[in-house]
Structure 1
Amino acid sequence: MRFPRFIDAVSRRSGLPPEQAATIARAVLQTMAERVTGRPADDLAGRLPDELDGYLSGPDADAGPTPAGPGEFLRRVGERAGVDEVTAQVGTGAVFATLREAVTVAEFREMVARLPMSADGAVEPLPPSYDG
């Protein structure tokens, strides 16, 4: 999936302007890179737009996973993106919904399974107005 199409999908799902959707997408991927357990996130990164895939294998990804629950995940996304908690939550849901579209079901499940278990609740919700 090309970068403009990925960001357009995040923007559409979240109701956020494209520039803000891009910022949140980067923040979500950076936060995921910090939290992934097991193998590096390089396999998923190869399926993302070139402008985004580096965020899954950035310098923080080498430090190992950092434990945190859903609230901390959203706090980090919001802090990185410079947005409030509600915007971070809506944007995170839109990014994960778009990732589900960009990779196979098996790849998405593997990616989510590699997040610490307490993060599951933060990545599943879709914005209520999204119909697919």
Structure 2
Amino acid sequence: MNHAEFLEAVAKRAELPPAEAANVIRATLKTLTERISGGEARDLAAQLPEEFRGHLHKEVDFAERLDLAEFLNEVRARAGVDAPRAADGARAVLTTVRDAVSAEESDDLESELPKQIRQLLHPVGRGVGA
């Protein structure tokens, strides 16, 4: 998946204009990077479009503990959007990430996330986390 396809997928899934989708992508990837190990951030960056790799840069290897509310609040603040748009946008970004990377990388990412945040990787209609 290239940059334009990724951006279009997020914009469509979150029902956001492209400029706002780009802000939400940046905010979500930066927040996600804080929540995963440095090795996982590097592995994920290697499979995403080059334009997004800088958002996945991490100086330290440890993962910060964030629950779902804290995760979405960080995305909201970084993207400059309201809470519902942050939630829809984060879900759209993480679902698109899941679709853009290999199944193995998707599983690795999911294994590093708490259950609440893992739910963002799956479309609403799939009943994940019930």
TM-score (norm 1): 0.84
Moved over 6 A (4+): none
Aligned to 1:124: 121
Letter in 1 for 2:108: E
2:62 equivalent in structure 1:
64
Of 83, 97, 100, the match for 1:99: 97
Q: How many residues align?
A: 125
TM-score normalised over the length of structure 2: 0.85
Whether the 8 Å contact between 1:7 and 1:22 is mirrored in structure 2 is yes
Superposition deviation, residue 127 in structure 1:
5.7
Distance 2:109 2:57 in 1: 13
**Shift of the alpha carbon at 1:124?**
3.4
The answer to whether the Cα contact below 8 Å between 2:34 and 2:63 also exists between their aligned partners in 1 is yes
Quote the Cα distance in structure 1 between the aligned partners of 2:57 and 2:11.
24
- Between structures 1 and 2, the one with greater helix share: 2
Query: Which consecutive residues of structure 2, in runs of 5 or more, have no partner in the other structure?
Result: 126-130
Measured in 1, the distance between the counterparts of 2:47 and 2:112 equals 17
Distance between the aligned counterparts of 1:10 and 1:72, measured in 2?
A: 21
Check the 8 A contact 1:9/1:98 in 2, yes or no.
yes
Quote the Cα distance in structure 2 between the aligned partners of 1:117 and 1:126: 15
Distance 1:63 1:38, change over 3 A: closer
1:55–1:38: structure 2 CA closer, same or farther, 3 Å change rule?
A: closer
Which structure 1 segments of 5+ residues have no match? none
- 1:74 corresponding residue in structure 2: 72
Code of the aligned partner of 1:33: T
Q: Distance in 2 between matches of 1:101 and 1:117?
A: 19
> Does structure 2 conserve the Cα–Cα contact (< 8 Å) formed by 1:90 and 1:126?
no
Instruction: Specify whether residues 94 and 118 from structure 1 end up closer, same or farther in structure 2 by C-alpha distance, changes over 3 A only.
Output: closer
